[in-house]
Chain A
Amino acid sequence: MILAALKGLLYLSSILLIGAGVFRFFIEKQNSELLERRTLLSLLSLGAIILAATTVSEIAYVLYDLLGSYDLTTFWDFVISTNHGKAASIRLLVLILLSLLISLAPDTWWSKQAFLLLGLGLISSFSAISHGASMAGSSLFVADLIHFLAAGAWAGPIFYLAYSQHWLDKANLYKPALEQISRIGLLSVMILFASGFFMSLSYMGEPEEFVYSNYGFSLFTKLGMILIILALAIYNRFVLMNRLASTGEVLDFRETIRWEAALLSLVFIATGVLTTRALPHSVTASLNPAENLLNLIQSFWR
């Protein structure tokens, strides 16, 4: 349970960091000040501190769980010799650079490119030690990377918009920001589903095994939360956006955005729980997505 909480916080804090950059460089137009600089930096710092602390704590927990104890020498040995340790070191370095870029760099084309590169580096520190990368190599590594990036691009800015303070006095500035978030969100959800489906098919041997497993239960819980968030996003896009265009009313938007942010936090915690649970598997299960897709289609008719 401790590891699941740590994993959940790792994902959530990474999304906060990615979200700060997406919000700063891609959502908020120059000087529109939907979010006061102080608030942006507070959330960014919170994400950075939690990410650094959980990265170190996760290694300490893994060592304690494996060996029953740990000391600084073992900790250092773990950092320099294991894939996990190396990925964590890169993550901490990228975290510092990313925080400096978002908080200090001017809003230029170069800053955007640097943010994309560092964001990719941050997410890679997770994908490089993902199950897919360790089992099936580059295709699943890339799928995992794209999946996580899409999640960050979609969910990250929502946290910042939820904290935005000017819903009442600068209501007119929200329309372009919300439209941009909606565009990014739509694209991200399509990418999330495509990459998620590809990864799932790669690991799934026998579809029926999932339904009654602990893993399946956690997955369906996460699915329920995602469906609620999608319903809110659709309501935002097709009802509230039209209302905003005709009446300038933004307060309902504020409420649904806050609900989305709260539910997304729970989704990342649920993802943390999922990553600590073993998939139901059998020795004969295939890693071939095409073969597993056939199995799935056959299971529809059983």
Chain B
Amino acid sequence: MAKSLLLLLALLLGFGQAHAYLTEADPAPGAVLETQPGLISLTMSEGVELKFSLFKIYRLDPIPEDKKELARAAKALLAEKIKLRNDEAERADTGLIEPQDRSTVIKLGLKEGLEPGLYIIMWKVLSVDSHSSEDFSYFIYQPAQP
């Protein structure tokens, strides 16, 4: 009860500044795919300024053993690669499809003939409310054995 009253008082001050975060992804985070996806679609909680946002897909090798380790490795990869320039050859994506000035839905093309493995979709975005945020999603491409 005391906690709720304190919260009620705090609510009177008003708050609301936040940052864009992922609300939907196709493929879904952690999806295991037998066929290579044609493109990656990310839906953010609010519009992002695409000209000043970065989206990249990298293969992470070896595949971490558990989700905690995966999160740690993905964050390290993000920190290392997201601001890297002229890294198109290393990446698995071909860049934004139908780039606009701002949008909540982001579509990324994928290079053909991806190697099987774990792929980290990373981003650092500037939302239209002028805040920047970074995060990642991932999928595993594991073609069915013939």
Contact = CB atoms under 8 A, between A and B. Distances in A.
Interface in B15-54: 15-19, 21, 23, 45-47, 49, 51-54
Contact of B52 (A67, A129, A143, A197): A67
A288 to B, nearest CB: 14
A278 B49 CA distance: 18
A203 B15 contact: yes
Binding site secondary structure of chain A: helix
The DSSP consensus for interface residues of chain B is: mixed
Contacts of A277: 17
Given A129-B129, A201-B11, A67 B83 contact: yes
Nearest to A189: B12
A134 B46 contact: yes
Nearest to B126: A66
A140 B49 CA distance: 20
Interface stretch (A77-85, A101-109, A166-174): A77-85
A274 B9 CA distance: 16
Nearest to B21: A281
A84 B15 CA distance: 19
Contact of A278 (B7, B10, B18, B47): B18
A138 to B, nearest CB: 14
B118 to A, nearest CB: 23
Contacts of A210: 7, 10
Contacts of A67: 52, 54, 83
Given A140-B16, A278-B19, A81 B11 contact: no
B52 A296 contact: no
A134 B126 contact: no
A251 B109 CA distance: 70
Interface stretch (A21-29, A111-119, A215-223): A215-223
A66 B16 contact: no
A66 B132 contact: yes
Contact of B131 (A82, A207, A276): A276
A157 to B, nearest CB: 21
A219 B130 contact: no
A162 B69 CA distance: 56
Contact of B127 (A134, A222, A223, A283): A134
A134 B103 CA distance: 11
B13 A66 contact: no
A212 B90 CA distance: 41
A121 B9 CA distance: 30
A279 interface: yes
B51 A219 contact: no
A242 interface: no
Contacts of A147: 14
A252 interface: no
A275 B12 contact: no
A-B interface, 8 closest residue pairs, ranked by CB to CB distance from nearest:
A196-B14, A275-B17, A200-B11, A68-B83, A84-B130, A134-B129, A193-B12, A279-B18
10 contacts: A135-B46, A140-B16, A144-B16, A192-B13, A196-B12, A197-B11, A197-B12, A200-B15, A278-B131, A296-B11
Interface of A: 62-63, 65-68, 77-78, 81-84, 87, 129-135, 140, 143-144, 147, 192-193, 195-204, 207, 210-211, 215-216, 219-220, 222-223, 226-227, 274-279, 281, 283, 296, 299-300
Given A78-B52, A131-B17, 18 more contacts: A62-B132, A66-B132, A82-B126, A130-B129, A144-B16, A192-B14, A197-B14, A200-B11, A203-B16, A203-B18, A207-B4, A207-B7, A215-B15, A219-B15, A220-B10, A279-B16, A279-B17, A299-B7
